[in-house]
Each structure stands twice: as C-alpha cells, then as structure tokens.
Structure 1
Amino acid sequence: MAADGLKPAGPFSDAERAAVYRAIHERRDVRGQFLPDPIDDDLLMRLLGAAHAAPSVGLMQPWNFIVIRSDAVRQQVRAAFQAANDEARAMFPDEKQGLYAQLKLEGITEAPVNLCITCDRSRGGPVVLGRTHNRDTDLYSTACAVQNLWLAARAEGVGLGWVSILRDDDLRRILNLPDHVVPVAYLCLGHVRELYDQPELQARGWAGRHPLQAMIHNETWGD
C-alpha cells in the first residue's frame, strides 16, 4: 500500500465477480423456509461486520443492531405485526384481499434470531459532512447496511426476511428505543435449506419484476 493510503484497484477474478452477482440475484426475502438450527455467534458477527462495513455519508455510521433471541420479545413483535397486518389487508381492493391473506409475510417466531437495525439521527452531531442539505442521508446509509447484511447472509446460507408491516410506535415500546433512534429494518435470520428461484411475491402471483429498460432515462427524466 502506498504511503498516502491508496492501493491498486482492478476487477475481481471471474470467480469472485460471479460470486458477487450470484449473491445479488439469488438474494430472497425469506418468510417460511427457516430451519430451527441456531446461528452461532461467529457467523452472526461476520454478518454484523458486513453490515457495519456499509458506506455512510460523512462516515457517520448511524446504525445500531439489536439482536433478539428471546421468545417473549419475539411474541410481542409478532402480536404487533398481526395487528398491523390485519389493518394492511383491509387497505387492498377486495380482489386482492384473498391472495393477501394467503401470503406469509413474516417469520418472527420461526427464525432463531431477529434483528432490528436502527438509525441514530443524532450520530455525528448537528452538522455532518455530506448531510448538510439532505437530512435523510442517515436513513439511506442505514439502508445500505441492511443490504450489505442481506448479501452476506445469502453467501453464508442464511435466510433473511424483512418485516415491514409494523408500526414504529410498537417497536419503540417493545425495544425501548429512545426518541432520537429510528427503527429502519426489523429482520428475521435463520439457516435455510431451500429458497424460491424467483422473488416469492412473483412466484405467488402478487407482482412481477419490471424490465430494466423501462427504468432507464438518459440525461433527464422521460428521455
């Protein structure tokens, strides 16, 4: 490494590059395939290390990780999910509600580890480099930590499911979060033997993936 901290950059080997893209394309939101086998501490720390290596604006690193194994806490979170999910189902048109009711949208009690990734909105003080004109970059940075964790989990053979149908107030109460800390992602983690070969919501007929070309604009919106 050079004295200025720089080192040569270049592409990965073909095998290394293929592994990165495989993790990206085979990542799944897991709800019902969790095995009861525990996640050992070394593996969990590797996953948290991957999350902690995420990019963050101004190097503020606004995330924290609440590791939850307690049955009592998980049962409280599941009850909160169920109440929110009953409300969510009623928001959809009648023709969608039947399919919605058949979808399994969480694995809170089945997964051996639950993890809440939070964002400390006071991290770095009142003025953070790169955050001066967009306060929400701390939330975006925390989302990057979630993605890092998700890809590392896939590489380790660990399934991960994001439980998004939860009220922030319920998580704050159950997890005793201070006012300046925002729950960004409530995740379920566990070993898996099988995964869907496509996103589960696509396999179940809820939605399909949009073609990439429809998402690309040149120079300005609409071009």
Structure 2
Amino acid sequence: MISKHSYTQAEKQALYRAIAERRDMRHFIEAPLEEGLLKRLLSVAHQAPSVGLMQPWRFIRITDQQLKVSIKSLVESERNITAAQLEERKNEFLKLKVEGILECAELLVVALPADREKHIFGRRTMPDMDLASVSCAIQNMWLAARAEGIGLGWVSLFDPIELAQLLTMPAGSRPVAILCTGHVEKFYEKPMLVEENWIQPIEIEEFLYENHWPIK
C-alpha cells in the first residue's frame, strides 16, 4: 500500500537522485556562490534532527585568506602523519587530493559547542549523539548542495586541538569538520576514492543482519 503521505514520483526520484549522486568533492573552480545560496544551505543544515532538540551544530565561516592558508597547513601536517602510518600505501595516499581549501568558494568549520553536558535528554548513556546530530546537519547541507549543483567536501584530516586554538574556540568546544563548498567543473561519476582505486564499496547485504550479530 502506498502511503497517503508519499511525495509524487518525480519528487521521490529527485530525492533519491540527490542521495545517489552526492559526492565528497575535492576539485573546485574559483567562482563565487550565487547570493543567498550559502544561507539556504545553512538553513537546511539547521533543520536537521538533533537529540533532545539540542541543535549542537556551530558554523564558523572562514573568509580571511591567511586563516585559510593556516588551516590548509594543519591539514597538510595531518596528511603527512597519516601517510607515514599507511606504510606500503604511503605514496599512493599522498597522490590523492584530500581538500580544496584554497580553491572553494566558501570554507566552513563545523563544531560542537562547549557545555554540552547540560543536555541529558537522549545522551545519558549515548553522549556521542551530539556528534550524530551534527552529522545529520552536514548531510542535509550536502544533499541540498548537490541538488543546487554545488560541490561540498568534508575534510577530517586535522588535529582538533590545534584547529580549535587557531579559531580561538572556547574550552570544551570541538571542531568536527572542515567543509569546502563551491562550484565544480563536474561531479565524480563514482566516489573519488573508488575512481582512484583506493577502495571498493561493499554491498548493503554484507551489512544487514537479522535478530542477532552473526557468529563468524
């Protein structure tokens, strides 16, 4: 039975298309976003679900060029540390483009605020639900960006303590993502790491269990 609350077929297809074609973008062209677009993307991020309606997302828009260079330096430092731990895949990893900080139209740092412990509803036994809520906000923004034809890339290669200090964030707060957003020449046909033969995706059947965790 089709639910009476269902969207039209065209609307559903558009939603599923945005999900299927969302990509973690690293390659941008230097062109500004249209007026009002960043606000629209942040607005849909702000509509994300959050445990206890705590709305734990905070967005820092980076417009200072020297600050962008400093953030890129932090990412490059972590990139090299990560490469050293990848051993035989080190050189392969270093060939991958992992960010578009200086090329993207808009650079945002997404963070968790201080004093999150006061939010107990839904977090007493699951305190990391604040991070889950922020992830939902980023996903909202990602899908809306794809529907707008705009690329977005989530950069996680950084030391959170160093980035927090760079951005003069208060004690107890935590940066969780650097988001590069902007126009792209084209979207990757497949996830970039698949196109670069870094890893192959696994089908959903491998992750679907019933009743109990399977005994291997």
TM-score normalised by the shorter chain: which range applies? over 0.9
Partner of 2:104: 111
Name the aligned partner's letter for residue 36 of structure 2: D
Aligned residue among 81, 85, 103 for 1:87: 81
Give structure 1 regions of 4+ aligned residues with deviation exceeding 4 angstroms.
Answer: none
C-alpha deviations, 1:97-140, integer Å up to 9, x for none?
221121111101111211111112425x6243222221111111
CA distance in 1, matches of 2:199, 2:114: 34
Aligned residue among 26, 29, 44 for 1:31: 26
SS at match of 1:66: strand
Residue pair 2:114, 2:170 contacting (<8 A) in 1 also = no
Partner of 1:3: none
RMSD: 1.5
Return closer, same or farther for 1:127/1:35 CA change in 2, 3 Å cut-off. closer
Q: How far is 1:172 from its partner? A: 0.7
- Mapped pair 1:163 → 2:155: yes
TM-score normalised to the size of structure 2?
0.94
Q: Which runs of 5+ in 1 are unaligned?
A: 1-7
Partner of 1:21: 16
Matches within 5 A, 1:198-213: 198-213=190-205
Return closer, same or farther for 1:41/1:176 CA change in 2, 3 Å cut-off. farther
TM-score normalised to the size of structure 1?
0.91
Q: Which runs of 5+ in 2 are unaligned?
A: none
SS at match of 1:151: helix
CA distance in 2, matches of 1:194, 1:77: 25
Return closer, same or farther for 1:9/1:132 CA change in 2, 3 Å cut-off. farther
Aligned length: 213
Partner of 1:147: 139
CA distance in 2, matches of 1:135, 1:101: 35
CA distance in 1, matches of 2:82, 2:205: 31
CA distance in 2, matches of 1:127, 1:112: 35
Partner of 2:6: 11
